[in-house]
Amino acid sequence: MISLSDIPARPSAWITPPMIALALLLLAAPDLLPAIGLYQYLGIEIAIWIGFALGFNLLFGYTGLHSFGHGAYLGIGAYAFGLFQHHVAVSLWGGLLAAVLAAGIAGALVGAFLSHRRGIYYALLTIGFGQIFWFLAMKLHRVTGGEDGLLGIPRPPLTLGPWQVSLTDNRALFYFAAALLMIVVVLCWRLANSPFGRVLQAIRQNETRARFVGYEVWRFKWAVFTLSTMIAGLAGSLLAMAQQSAYPDVMSLHQSGLIVMMVLVGGGLVSFWGPVLGVVFYFVARDVLGGLTETWLLWYGLIFMAMVMLRPEGLAGMLHDLLRRSRPRQPSAAPAPATEAV
Amino acid sequence: MSKAKISRRGLLGAAGAASAVSLFAGPWQHNRVWAQGAAKPLRIGITADASGMYANSGASDKRGMMMAIAEANERGGVLGRKVEFVHIDTETTAATGSRVAERMISREQCGFLVGAVHSGVANAISQVAQKYGVIYINTNSSSPTEAGQNCHRVKFVFDGNGTNFAKAAVKSAIERFGPDWMLLTNDYVWGHDTAAATKTLLKDYGGKVMEEVLIPQGTRDFTSALLKVQQRKPGVVSAAIGGDDQKAMRQQVVQLKMGDKPAWINSQQDWDDVYGLPIETLFGVFGTTWYYRLDLPGVADFVKRYQAMYPETAMRSPGNVFYNGYMAIRELLGAIERAGTTNNIAVIKALEGHKISARDRMQHFDATIDAQTHQVQQTIYLATANKAPKEKDDIFEVLSQAKAEDVRDTDSAKLCKLEPYEQTPTFDA
Amino acid sequence: MAPLNPDGPRMIDLLPHIINGLTLGLLFALIALGFTLIVGVMEVINLAHGSLFAIGAYFALTVIAGSWFAGTPFGAWWLSLPLGLRYVLALAIGPALAGLAGMLLELCLRPTYGKPPLYGLLLTFGAALVIEELIRLVWGTGEQNLALPQAINGAFLLNGMIFSTYRFFAAGFSIAAIIAVWLFLERTSAGAVIKAGAHDSEMVRALGYDLARLRLVVFGFGAALAGLAGVVMVPIWGLRPHVGVDIVIPAFLIIVVGGVGSFWGAVIAALLVGLAIGITGAYAAAWSTMSMYLLLIAILGFRSRGLLGRKSALEH
């Protein structure tokens, strides 16, 4: 089985060919989506979840820390963005900053508690904290709107100096989300291939050994957890803009489990680009199959089980094998090429 | 509108093509120029829950709408156009509601959206609908906020709300069972709003709240709460507990034989939540907007049509949830006919302030679609378990009926600020 | 919402709420036992444990209501049997079928042995999703309830308070089941092998036992216990497709608080969680579901392996 450590070392590259391909795909998406029978709003959601999944995979795939409560930080970001618009000022940058900070602070506190834990205890505690945040979001309904959600969140215009663009149109919001996504992609890529990223992978392979080598392992675990929650917060703020509201649902165990499933099905354990494939696969399958059958989750669950049993390398791993066998042929179905990373 | 052009899309065979989702509908422009053509079918998006906490009620809701659509098509459609529908499951989840609404409007080309049981889902859909100017009817969510702070120009609310029911019940219950009340409140927005309405009325009529016990949503074990009720010994317990939580509570109250004393008041009892349960679980007094054995013209025929259309359904008699779904579609299509156009603003204006006769509503008194809050002001019934049923499904005994103006929710009206017409996008569906 | 009568709630007698919490705790213990057994022997966190609980309960529903044979002569004959008999049969058939489902799941788990415990966790997470969807298909989406024989379905008066008979029946049943499992593990040779397997599975293999069969049997046994808990608990917790996820969270929290793999740890933790829910139910009902998470964090804050936990492979 291939693994993330097989990633070719290209520490100096900021921009890689798959990134350019992803950027081109995002650029064309608003015209591409309707042509293949999808719609703009779905594109926004996919872009948001890809960012969330890439941040999550720094923790899950690279460091081997299994958080089953990550939806909580997505939700915190969404609420923070909305509350900032309602109570402080209608400001895009302010809201984004508030979301990243709020999710980051929550993540830093939880991370401090978690980072001395290992293995299954780590996973269990992430569930516990995730449930607490979810419960609070429902319970503090005077602040969050409870079950009904925090409603009427505006989409503030994008202001850069004298230049101002309205984001009320779904197309405009998509491009904004895509631009932020590209920043997250570059950031995660650089991080994963930096000395910091090497330590994370060392922790995954053998935490005890990493400690004996002299790394203060818990600091790294804390840092990567906090970082991934900050990215989740950023994704959450975009979600709040897309839905123009923030709901507690994304914080539930069910939804937190879904991001784990998406990342694994995509091949997050073996490829930087795995989460991208996983998110696209999940959302497109949900939209297409979900319109045809109400039991589509059954099929998704079965696919997931089969992958865990037979191909834990996920879609990215399968694609890698496919490419290795028939080098010259380019697969046409792939939403994003994963050749470089694996 | 130009006449008699063939629809750009092939007609769906029958209106009953549930989830008829054509996957490759071709490019769809966002600027609201729907393909012109008088024969183009009118598309309605049914946003009823098919899974999650309100899956059962959602199914009834949808059946009601489908029957109204089928009847409209038998009459030759609306403005000469056939009525089609698309149904996508909103999963009793707000975020899914947002997405489904976006998809229905931008990809399925639905000009109207109808359906909801859960207030969170209703809100999510109505925000998206308002953004596009698409008319949305909340059929069955009875949270007072729906026609209060969360009201919208494009949203119409067809169910009675918690305040309406409290107004119908509180005063007479104080007189009969005394001023000492205990509240069991589902700890979410609908529960709190309903309890707040009860508390205000208690204050007005000289009752007092001994204690309010907040019940987390999803509670199935009510033992703690019922122990507290025994310890506090109130004269009346007023429960604002919804859906399956309520079903569980009813069974446990019966098990402990606490159904007769204290007196129980339930804000609203959805038919779907008690259908098929043993009669003794129907203790206490509860509100409803309709019952299938009301002795009014049209009711028996309506029930017959239901039974003919749904011979396979386990629920043999229609209830209030079905009724609301049916009425919503019928009034929507009626408004389109009156407006003579599918222009959304014209249809909204045709709905606003519209009076519906008691006969058309199959209720005791006339109803109005409130122009100020968009809530249907209607007859509110109080009922209890029927000790002398005429047939198997005859489980309610209607105790009283209140006129719409006597139970009007004046507090929500103060909070509702509808968006001006000119800020609502306009288009022809 | 501030209490309108601030000193009101404090005046109430706490004892009924403590009793209520303990009875709930005993039911939690029943489901946690199978869970902890599987974790101990297999080193798999079985997130589908709640789904096996649901399967047991749903089959019991079918046995009691005879719904699959409705309209046939067999169905009519079946329903003519006394409810008490059907209930006793359900208590046997429900857990047995849950046990079989568990064995099937164990077969699916085999490719994940030797890999990090994450894979078992993920597989069972997927299985939980699949089982829930299957339940929707087979038994429908709505809330259902299990009919109980009259003998255990009433209420009784104790010290001026009405209590549900069934709750005490269920609690008594749980105590009996817990003792039976304990005796099985302590007093029988099969139990000794399972215990040894939990302690050191390689050693068990070295002694000539078939490890694959041991795992299959343990998983089946744990699943049957989950199914049994399902049949007993569902009249209190309600039955819906999602019930598996609703129950697996407390069960899972209990084995962590108790210490993964520890028998008495699970029992004690279950009682603590029950008490926490019962007592918060008396003072701040809205926070009762939250109380168990706070308990989890409080206990793990001091004892990182739970009350009676020891070091295990699950930490890698």
Condensed to tens digits (0 to 9), the pLDDT of residues A241-255 reads 999 999 998 998 888
A12: pLDDT confidence band, cut at 50, 70 and 90? low
More confident residue, B408 or B22: B408
What was the pLDDT predicted at A328?
A: 54
Q: What integer pLDDT is reported at residue C312 of this predicted model?
A: 61
pLDDT of residue C114: 80
* pLDDT for residue B137 is more than 50: yes
Domain B42-160+299-378 has CATH 3.40.50.2300: yes
Of the listed ranges A331-335, B108-112, C150-154, the least confidently predicted one is A331-335
The answer, yes or no, to whether residue C230 has pLDDT greater than 90, is yes
Task: Judge whether residue B194 has pLDDT over 60.
Answer: yes
Shortest alpha-carbon distance between residue A302 and chain B (Å): 19
Total-model pTM:
0.87
Say how far apart CA B43 and CA B77 lie, in whole Å.
Answer: 12
Q: What's the pLDDT band for A11 if we cut at 50, 70, 90? A: low
Which SS3 state, helix, strand or coil, does residue B288 take?
strand
Q: Is B233 helix (H, G, I), strand (E, B) or coil?
A: coil
| Interface contact B28-A244, CB threshold 8 A | no
* pLDDT of B295: 94
Q: Which CATH class is domain B162-288?
A: alpha beta
Rounded distance between C-alpha atoms, residue B352 and residue B369, angstroms: 6
Average pLDDT rounded to a whole number, residues B388-398 = 93
Q: Is the pLDDT of residue C225 over 80?
A: yes
Q: By CB neighbour count within 10 A (0-12 exposed, 13-18 middle, 19+ buried), where does B22 fall?
A: middle
- Percent of chain B with pLDDT strictly greater than 90: 65
Across residues C97-110, what is the average pLDDT? 95
Task: For residues B253-272, give the mean pLDDT.
Answer: 89
C261 pLDDT more than 70: yes
Looking at residue A50, what is its pLDDT? 97
Task: Give the C-alpha separation, A191 to A208, whole Å.
Answer: 22
CATH 1.10.3470 fits A4-325, yes or no: yes
Q: Rounded to 5 degrees, what are φ and ψ at A41?
A: -60, -35
Q: What's the burial of B182, exposed, middle or buried (CB within 10 Å: 0-12/13-18/19+)?
A: buried
Q: Which of the four pLDDT bands, split at 50, 70 and 90, describes residue C235?
A: confident
Q: Which of A75-84, C27-36, C289-298 has the lowest mean pLDDT?
A: C289-298
Note the pLDDT tens digit of each residue in B69-89.
999 999 999 999 999 999 998
**pLDDT (mean) for C116-134:** 89
B69 vs C78, more confident:
B69
Nearest chain A Cα distance for residue C243, angstroms: 13
Q: For residue C189, what pLDDT band results from cuts at 50, 70 and 90?
A: confident
Chain C contact present for A127, CB below 8 A: yes
Query: With an 8 Å Cβ cutoff, are A118 and C133 in contact?
Result: no
For residue A51, the model assigns a pLDDT of 97
Give the pLDDT confidence score for residue C194 in this predicted structure.
81
Q: Give CATH for domain C15-310.
A: 1.10.3470
Subunits with 3+ C-beta pairs closer than 8 A to A: B, C
Instruction: Place A336 in a pLDDT band, splitting at 50, 70 and 90.
Output: very low
pLDDT category at B399 given cuts 50, 70, 90 is very high
What is the value of ipTM here, to two decimals? 0.85
Q: Of the candidates B88, B102, B124, which has its C-beta nearest A41's C-beta?
A: B102
Angstroms from A156 CA to nearest CA on chain C: 34
Rounded percentage of chain B residues whose pLDDT exceeds 70: 91
Q: Say yes or no for a CB contact (<8 Å) between C164 and B230.
A: no
Is the model's pLDDT at B21 over the cut of 50?
Answer: no
**Cβ–Cβ contact B28 with A under 8 A:** yes
| Lowest-confidence region among B152-166, B173-187, B244-258 | B244-258
Domain spans, chain C: 15-310
Tell me the β-bridge partners of B44.
B85, B112
pLDDT at C3: 43
pLDDT digits (tens, 9 = 90+) for C127-184: 999 999 999 889 987 778 888 888 888 888 877 788 889 999 999 999 999 999 999 9
Comparing C-alpha atoms, which of C198, C306, C197, C252 is closest to residue C51? C252
A136-150 pLDDT, tens digit per residue, is 998 888 899 888 889
State the helix-helix crossing angle for C15-42 and C165-187, rounded to 10 degrees. 30
Q: Which one of C130, C286, C290 has the shortest CB-CB distance to A298?
A: C130
Nearest CB among A131, A260, A298 relative to C133 is that of A298
CB contact under 8 A, A244 and B127: yes
Residue A235 clears pLDDT 90, i.e. is over it = yes
- Residue B401, CA distances (Å) to A188, B378, B429 in order: 64, 10, 38
Averaged pLDDT, B210-221: 87
**Interface check B200 vs C, CB under 8 A:** no
Over 70: is that where the pLDDT of B34 sits? no
CA B179 to chain A, closest CA, distance in angstroms equals: 29
Give the pLDDT score at A314. Answer: 87
What integer pLDDT is reported at residue A46 of this predicted model? 96
Asked whether the predicted pLDDT for residue B402 surpasses 90, the reply is yes
Q: For residue range A184-195, list pLDDT tens digits in order.
A: 999 999 999 999
CB nearest B150 (choices: A39, A40, A151): A151
Band of residue B46 on the pLDDT scale cut at 50, 70, 90: very high
Task: Look up tokens 């090429």; give the residue.
Answer: A337
pLDDT tens sequence across C43-68 = 788 889 999 999 999 999 999 988 88
Nearest-by-CA chain B residue for A137 = B188
Mean pLDDT of chain A: 88
Buried b (16+ CB within 10 A) or exposed e, C122-140: bbbbbbbbbbbbbbbeebe
B19 vs B400, which has greater pLDDT?
Answer: B400
Query: For chain B, what are the domain ranges?
Result: 42-160+299-378, 162-288
What is the C-alpha separation between B337 and B151, in angstroms, rounded?
A: 25
Q: By CA distance, what is C288's nearest residue in A?
A: A135
* pLDDT category of residue A223 using cuts at 50, 70 and 90: very high
Q: What is the mean pLDDT of chain B?
A: 87
Question: In sequence order, which residues have a C-beta less than 8 Å from that of residue B326 and are 6 or more positions away?
Answer: B64, B65, B67, B68, B318
Least confident of A169-173, A317-321, C25-29, C123-127: A317-321
Which of C4 and A97 is assigned the larger pLDDT?
Answer: A97
Residue A327 carries which DSSP code? Answer: T
Segment B266-284 shows an average pLDDT of 86
Q: Is the pLDDT of residue B424 over 50?
A: yes
Judged against a pLDDT cut of 70, whether residue B37 lies above it is answered with no
Residue A123's nearest CA partner among C315, B321, C115 is C315
The answer to whether residue B29 scores a pLDDT higher than 70 is no
Look at residue C103 in the predicted model and tell me its pLDDT. 96
Domain ranges of chain A: 4-325
Which whole number is the average pLDDT over B158-177? 91
Report the side by side order of strands in the sheet with B112-114: B83-87, B42-46, B112-114, B135-138, B155-157
| pLDDT bucket at B23, cuts 50 / 70 / 90 | very low
Arithmetic mean of pLDDT over chain C: 86
Same topology between domain B42-160+299-378 and domain B162-288: yes
Is B282 exposed, middle or buried, given 0-12, 13-18 or 19+ CB atoms closer than 10 A? buried
Tell me what percent of the residues of chain C surpass a pLDDT of 90.
38
Q: State whether C145 and B251 contact (CB < 8 Å).
A: yes
- If you average pLDDT over residues A103-130, what whole number do you get? 90
